[in-house]
Amino acid sequence: MQDVFVAELGAERPVCVYGDERLKIGTFRGSGRNKAVVVFPYSGTARVLEGVCDSQCFYSADTDQLVTLQPIGQSSMNIVIYRHVGHRIRPEISATGATRYVFDTSAPDYEMKNDAGTYTLTPSFGVSSNGRWVAVELRGRGIATIDAGSFVSKQITAVGIAYGYGLDPSEQLAISNDGKSVALTGQNAGFRLFDVTTDCGQQLVGTLTLIATTEQCPSTDLGVVTLFPNFAFAERPRFFGNGHQLEVIVTSWVTGSRRVTFVTQGTVIAHQLKLLSLGDSFSSGEGETDDAYYLTGTNQQYDRCHVSVRSYSPLTAKRLGLHDDEAKNISCSGARISDVVGSGDGYWGQGDRLGVSGLGVSLVEKNQLQQEAVETYRPGRALQSAFVERYDPEMLTIGIGGNDAGLMGKLRTCAMPGTCEWVKSPGLEETAGEIKRLYDTLGSLFLEISSKAPNAEVYVLGYPDIVEPDGVCDPVTAFLLDRTERIFVQNSVRYLNQVIRAAVNKAGFHYVDSEHSFDGTKLCSAAPTSMNGVRIGDDFAVTGVLPMLKIIGTETFHPTPSGHALMTETILNQYPELKGSPSSSDDEGIEPSHYWGEDGSPATRAAYATEFAYKDGTNKQHMMVRLPGGSLQPHSLVSVEVHSEPTVLATFVADEQGSLKGDISVPELLGEGFHTLHLLGVNKGGEAIDMYQFLTIGATDDVIQTSNGEVSKPSSTSSTMLIDEIRSSPERNRHSAVITADVLGVQSTKGTVSGIKKL
């Protein structure tokens, strides 16, 4: 459950949310019954969704399918599955002009009924985490599985629990991602684990009845009665992956409730880590002054997480007396929240490094590489939360959120001629809106972490203040970042920390206030030793009077090893031995200060750092604009601009599904350096949005782009190279993403930029 603001109610409600940034469906209790809400892409507001999810409900963004129960008669339920969920959600305008959203339940893609049209009563169901399998209770008749791709159903047991005799059962089902394991729990339902093989059970066709001679699938109670004397019931079953691990809550009449994990025979049980660190470049150690300190496998082609042994995580572990096999850092430069938690089935590594933008492996190979990555602590290839599940750490540190607000990309564009667009309206208000929205996103992250590591002590770090606005800067920093921009950077970090602290306090985690860790040693201070200034290539500092300033490297504006040592001191000063009570101090809430707008009014558009423009490899200036269905309001007008000096590149009209396909040409005279593309439009919920994406122009006015997100080979026509994390296209198998510089720790840069002039 998470608190979500529902527009029609004008207030927050505790909502059970499914899906991800592509589309979210949730349910909450209102007026004594379940009600549904929808959160459209590029929107932070939930809207009431009518006509669906009056009962149990599950949505998978990976399959874009909704599984729910529909009423049959006055008190019975039948399972139903809808595909293409986004297309079924339709706005309706009332006589007063208000918009309501209605789910089209006509022509379901699947209903469990026989050839005569008689429905099968199905009081409950469970869905695999990848959304591809459903386990369903056949009332009084047993259990069946449904392949959500083919809709083939198979009854696996005819043993059902009787209704109408004393207390009725309340079955809770779970099914593994491969559909081969099913768990039955619930009050008055007992505990059984079924092994679904090809030789057992019967496909349900025609009359949907089980032939008496059918071999039922084998099952076991795993000895819970012996293991837990006075066993009462089990509940909340959950499989990990393909069923090698099952987690349940077991309740005994004598000893109470406890969380229990079962593993299959032969499964290697990972030892529990003492300390596990998650996060982005400020946690990985991007900014290391000597590449020799990067861990093996984190500073090579396709894998540049840049994890340093001199970052705060290993330094903290050493101070705690932990051995290398007891503490691990799987943070990755460039990580966003979606690289920490999400759908592992559709995840191809950070920046699509296992997909077409990187190694280009098959689905089977991808799954194998991700499993190996988790087993060998290799960051960037699997979701960071997969390591949490695998190693059940005693202590967790998390440092994340800056990339989700596009802060590093904005900082890079500010380090260009003139005062950048983000320090003035509307960029200022849009940035505040982005940071404020992170409160809900972080809340979802922390809930997920709590479910995966319920017994861990979680410490969430804020970001250090990196620059002194009124200090004496070195010539390069003073030239690239004027005072207005330095004030913007400082206020961005402070507001981000304010929102992080509020989310941490609500989650009951420990907040580490690192904002003042670098006082006296940040950029433009008397002894700027904690932060890298402007750097080029891999590690060469810019000196002199900027005769030919190179494009900013990734080490720029990141903590040095000395900075990480100070962050270690901050952590252990606030939580000696990493012990202490969760944060309980009064936070400042999530409202922005007057810096972000004197009248406190929100931006006219909501800004989203995302990717929508892609190179096709045929023309150095040509780019394809692509957005999937549901991104925009159908038939709405869309404008694409490039800044710093706003230039309209094209206007488009979204199609009837709210998707967009178009082409733009980047002006040849745009000039080398960092620029920002803006896509201005209206989302499906009717909100004005500004999707923005950073791009880099090389010395020959080419839009620099690499198909794998790593090192570009130097050519005879360009003296500029860019190494960067890129993210996969909505049409991932067709396009490579344009270089984006919107992340803390985009991978590296080399080259020259001439004629830069700061106003």
Q: Does the pLDDT of residue 98 top 60, yes or no?
A: yes
- Please state, in angstroms and rounded to a whole number, the distance separating the CA atoms of residues 272 and 163: 43
Query: What's the whole-model pTM score?
Result: 0.82
Q: What span, in angstroms and rounded, lies between the C-alpha atoms of 60 and 38?
A: 13
Residue 744 scores a pLDDT above 60: no
Interior/surface letters 381-391, b for 16+ CB within 10 angstroms, e for the rest: bbbbbbbbbbb
Q: What is the mean pLDDT of residues 476-494?
A: 90
Using only C-alpha atoms, the chain has a radius of gyration, in whole angstroms, of 27
Taking residues 630-639, report their average pLDDT.
94
Tell me if 307 sits within 8 A of 296, measured CB to CB. no
Q: Please tell me the chain's helix, strand, coil percentages from 3-state DSSP, rounded to the nearest 5.
A: 20, 30, 50
Q: How far is CA 342 from each of CA 22, 118, 201, 383, rounded to the nearest angstrom? A: 11, 38, 33, 7
Question: What is the model's pLDDT at position 650?
Answer: 94
Q: Say how many Å lie between the first and final Cα of the chain, rounded.
A: 49
51: left (phi over 0), alpha (psi -120 to 50) or beta: left
pLDDT in tens, 413-462: 887 777 888 999 889 999 999 999 999 999 999 999 998 888 899 999 99
pLDDT of residue 546: 38
Q: Do residues 341 and 383 lie in contact, with contact meaning Cβ atoms separated by under 8 Å?
A: yes
Band of residue 539 on the pLDDT scale cut at 50, 70, 90: very low
Q: Does residue 567 surpass a pLDDT of 60?
A: yes
Beta strands in 386-541 (DSSP E): 395-399, 457-461, 510-512, 535-536, 540-541
Q: What is the pLDDT of residue 758?
A: 35
Distance separating alpha carbons of residues 720 and 230, to the nearest angstrom: 71
pLDDT of res. 267: 67
pLDDT band at 516 (very low <50, low <70, confident <90, very high): very high
Rounded to the nearest integer, the mean pLDDT of the chain is: 83
